Structure 1
Amino acid sequence: MASSFTTTVPAGTTVTVRIIDSTSRITKLPFKALMGPSMPGLDDMPALPTWSFLIEHASGRKLLFDLGIPVDWQDTAPVVANRLKTNGWDIQVEKPTTEILEAGGVKPEDVEAIVWSHWHWDHIGNPSYFPPSTKVIVGPGFKDELLPAYPTGPKSNVRESDFAGRTLQEITFKESNTLNIGPFEALDYFHDGSFYLLNTPGHATGHLAGLARTTTSPSTFIFMGGDLTHHSGELRPSPHLPLPESIPSSQLPSLCQALSYTSVCPGAIFEALQTFEGRSREPARTTPFFDPAMGKDIPTAIETIKKTMEADADENVLYIFAHDAKVREVVKGNFFPGTVNAWKEKGWRDALLWRFLEDFEEAARRVKQGEGKGGKL
């Protein structure tokens, strides 16, 4: 059924949104570390970026939503660094976000606040590169769980240097500018309906999402998902957004070509994957391919994902999670300092919606050849 998530958002103005390629890359990360059940041929995750978002209000006030991997990640809190040095992942980051911003004409002192979607190492960057006037904003429960930070708290996942001398603001969703948007508690950051922080618990204590209004008449939004999902297959298909009967080859260019389909890829291929080689994801057309396997509270994370499905199915919402590798293929040429407010006009939602299915090429090929249940498709 169609979603009307955006009708629950009060009228408001817009912000300018720019997606920053933080130059972060994570490879050799086993698929099973993040989600399940397994998908044949998908042993490791695709190379994962970490997107950062620059949000600019009409008044000139600027926020950053996430910072990517700190360039000195080897020297982050030992409880984190020691694990990263031994888990076999390949972690690369070329430059700090401040360097990217300055190359695009934005000075660190221009940034009012850094919003951490959550406190995991690959999102927090290094706030010490910003002046003390730049505050760090975190979600509910952060201070109780993470403070005192390292080195005063030797087992903390964050460093005191990340917010020493600056304001550390914890959102509680009890502030006067808190409201409800759809199923979410939301904080109207600029008090004018242009940008909201959403309470999205489960993956980590204090996990936040961002909702930025990108146009009016109609109102369109970018939903910044942080680590609500690590793959679109955790969110789609859904009761609000079933698998289509067919998907244009323009939306799955490499997969349709690999499977020798010209104009469309049949949805039956992907529906069959839900029960392929021991998988049991039913009803197949409305159940996401995966559930998260990594997080603070998995049942709560799944409930938050279910809430997000309503927004994801709204044609006026572009959902982008922090590690969505497919964004690079669609948004190419429009990263910072370019803007992404015209995403709907450019057709990015349609281009991104099912693009994740290309990660299932090997399994889809085997289904087409008639392996596993059923005959050839």
Structure 2
Amino acid sequence: MAPNLLHPAKKPEPLNAPPGASAKVQIVDGTARITAPTDVFMTPPIHGHTQMFAPAFSFLVEQVSSGRKILFDLGLRKDWQSHPPAVQSLISGPGWAFDVPKNVDEVLQENGVDVKGGAIEAVIWSHWHFDHTGDVSQFPTSTTLITGPGVKDSFFPLYPENENSPLLSSDFANRKHKELDFEGKSQLKIGGLRAIDYFEDGSFYLLDAPGHAIGHTCGLARVTSTKEGDTEDTFIYMGGDTAHHGGEFRPTEYLPLPAEISPSPYVSKFASVCPGHLFEAIHPRKKGVDPYYDLSTHVAHNHEESIHSNERMQVFDATDNVLVIIAHDMTILDPACGLEWFPHGTVKNWKAANAAEKVRWLFLRDFVPAVENSVP
């Protein structure tokens, strides 16, 4: 057992990603901030962590050789009150709040990406939930909307023609809509998930990760490539809503809770390094090799599939050349993580910046009240 682990670590299975080119990837903070009840998304309750405070990220992905650009996820639209009644009924209860100064298209346009001029080839929704769909109507009709499988069969006709649909017709009007086909000719699998090579050069894959929602899809972008002279291939895994909090997919048997956690999530008492046993003691199962939370059945379309997709993501998370970023991870906004953001930089150098190790256990900050409550 490594000296810095509370438990021995199991080696993750290989992902078997084929070689390929690299993509230019930028994380876009669309300015949305969401407050939501924790128990809607995860269980069992942990003392002091009753509300989530979350961003809603987008990813600008560019094929370097051609300049073709896509957006993976659009976050939350600033006029979120215009969502159909089927959505409003779910987010109007106690504990929900939204602050959205700008749409993602505005953030891009203001920083040199000519959205209005058709710079974005396609918008790809990880899934159809309101905090990922943005406002596609602000993009020209030359921009294709891509969704996972099953969206058309499940939700068309759209609102307002169909008052029960959660999707707005304005997002699809006069625009090409393409559903991903994971049952097609490609038999490619990466990390056990069916994959589509979007640019057909190995730079960006769309992965079939069902469960949370109909058609839920993840992204996998290669940001350095040995084919291009880099020392290794490194990737960004765009996890969408496979999880909503780090405690839903960490720790694992591949990434056990460390004996010493650095950077410290409990800085008020341990400035730089925190003893891991304090956080194992407040684990619902007292196990530093299991995620703290289970996925709630409240928001999962298919709970069993959502668990499987989450378990697959755990393998990516434990692979040392992959950085997993879920759509609502507040911890990566910490400047100490070393990530560069749109418009100032790309995530190409995340591994050199040691970003994965810096961000991995920061979610434990949310459990400090539980630790303090447990100490006599």
Give the TM-score taking structure 1 as reference length.
Answer: 0.91
Q: Quick one: which of 245, 269, 272 aligns to 2:278?
A: 269
Q: Secondary structure at the match of 1:111?
A: coil
- Work out the CA distance in 2 between the residues paired with 1:273 and 1:307: 26
- Work out the CA distance in 2 between the residues paired with 1:307 and 1:13: 24
- Work out the CA distance in 2 between the residues paired with 1:5 and 1:77: 43
Determine the structure 2 residue equivalent to 1:146.
Answer: 155
Q: Quick one: which of 44, 48, 55 aligns to 1:49?
A: 55
Determine the structure 1 residue equivalent to 2:253.
Answer: 239
Q: Quick one: which of 103, 108, 113 aligns to 1:101?
A: 108
Determine the structure 2 residue equivalent to 1:373.
Answer: none
- Work out the CA distance in 2 between the residues paired with 1:127 and 1:291: 33
Determine the structure 1 residue equivalent to 2:34.
Answer: 26
Unaligned 5+ segments in structure 2 are 1-9, 226-230
Cα displacement (A) at 1:85: 3.3
- Work out the CA distance in 1 between the residues paired with 2:110 and 2:242: 30
* Alignment pair present for 1:71 and 2:78: yes
Letter in 1 for 2:126: S
Give the TM-score taking structure 2 as reference length.
Answer: 0.91
Q: Once the two structures are superposed, what CA deviation does each residue of 1:239-266 show, in whole Å capped at 9, x if it has no partner?
A: 1111112112xx12xx4332x2355211
Q: Is the 8 A contact 2:317 2:323 kept in 1?
A: yes
Cα displacement (A) at 1:3: 2.6
Cα displacement (A) at 1:142: 1.2
* Alignment pair present for 1:315 and 2:315: no
Q: Name the CA shift for 1:88/1:38 in 2 (closer, same or farther; >3 Å).
A: closer
- Work out the CA distance in 2 between the residues paired with 1:333 and 1:24: 19
Letter in 2 for 1:245: A
Determine the structure 1 residue equivalent to 2:228.
Answer: none
Q: Which moved more, 1:316-325 or 1:178-187?
A: 178-187
Q: Is the 8 A contact 1:5 1:182 kept in 2?
A: yes
Cα displacement (A) at 1:82: 3.8
Q: Which moved more, 1:302-311 or 1:328-337?
A: 328-337
Q: Once the two structures are superposed, what CA deviation does each residue of 1:122-162 show, in whole Å capped at 9, x if it has no partner?
A: 10001010011101111111111111111222111101110
- Work out the CA distance in 1 between the residues paired with 2:13 and 2:321: 9
- Work out the CA distance in 2 between the residues paired with 1:91 and 1:74: 10
Cα displacement (A) at 1:95: 1.0
Q: Name the CA shift for 1:128/1:332 in 2 (closer, same or farther; >3 Å).
A: farther
Q: Quick one: which of 285, 288, 291 aligns to 1:288?
A: 291
Q: Once the two structures are superposed, what CA deviation does each residue of 1:160-185 show, in whole Å capped at 9, x if it has no partner?
A: 11011111110021233451112100
* Alignment pair present for 1:358 and 2:365: yes
Q: Once the two structures are superposed, what CA deviation does each residue of 1:222-249 show, in whole Å capped at 9, x if it has no partner?
A: 000000000010000111111112112x
Aligned residues: 355
Letter in 2 for 1:122: D
Q: Quick one: which of 195, 202, 215 aligns to 2:204?
A: 195
- Work out the CA distance in 2 between the residues paired with 1:61 and 1:178: 25
Equivalences for 1:210-221 in 2 at 5 Å? 210-216=219-225, 217-221=231-235
Q: Secondary structure at the match of 1:302?
A: helix
Determine the structure 1 residue equivalent to 2:4.
Answer: none
Equivalences for 1:76-95 in 2 at 5 Å? 76-95=83-102
Taking only aligned residues, the RMSD between alpha carbons, in angstroms, comes to 1.5
Cα displacement (A) at 1:100: 0.7
Letter in 1 for 2:251: P
Q: Which moved more, 1:10-19 or 1:144-153?
A: 144-153
Cα displacement (A) at 1:268: 0.9
Q: Name the CA shift for 1:127/1:332 in 2 (closer, same or farther; >3 Å).
A: farther
Determine the structure 2 residue equivalent to 1:375.
Answer: none
- Work out the CA distance in 2 between the residues paired with 1:56 and 1:26: 28
- Work out the CA distance in 1 between the residues paired with 2:354 and 2:311: 25
Letter in 2 for 1:290: Y
- Work out the CA distance in 2 between the residues paired with 1:164 and 1:79: 20
Q: Is the 8 A contact 2:73 2:133 kept in 1?
A: yes
Q: Is the 8 A contact 2:223 2:233 kept in 1?
A: yes
Q: Name the CA shift for 1:79/1:263 in 2 (closer, same or farther; >3 Å).
A: closer
Letter in 2 for 1:94: P
- Work out the CA distance in 1 between the residues paired with 2:254 and 2:95: 38
Q: Secondary structure at the match of 2:364?
A: helix
Letter in 2 for 1:273: I
Determine the structure 1 residue equivalent to 2:266.
Answer: 256
Q: Is the 8 A contact 1:98 1:107 kept in 2?
A: no
Q: Name the CA shift for 1:23/1:300 in 2 (closer, same or farther; >3 Å).
A: same
- Work out the CA distance in 2 between the residues paired with 1:347 and 1:263: 16
Q: Once the two structures are superposed, what CA deviation does each residue of 1:269-288 show, in whole Å capped at 9, x if it has no partner?
A: 111112xxxx3x26x02111
- Work out the CA distance in 2 between the residues paired with 1:264 and 1:292: 29
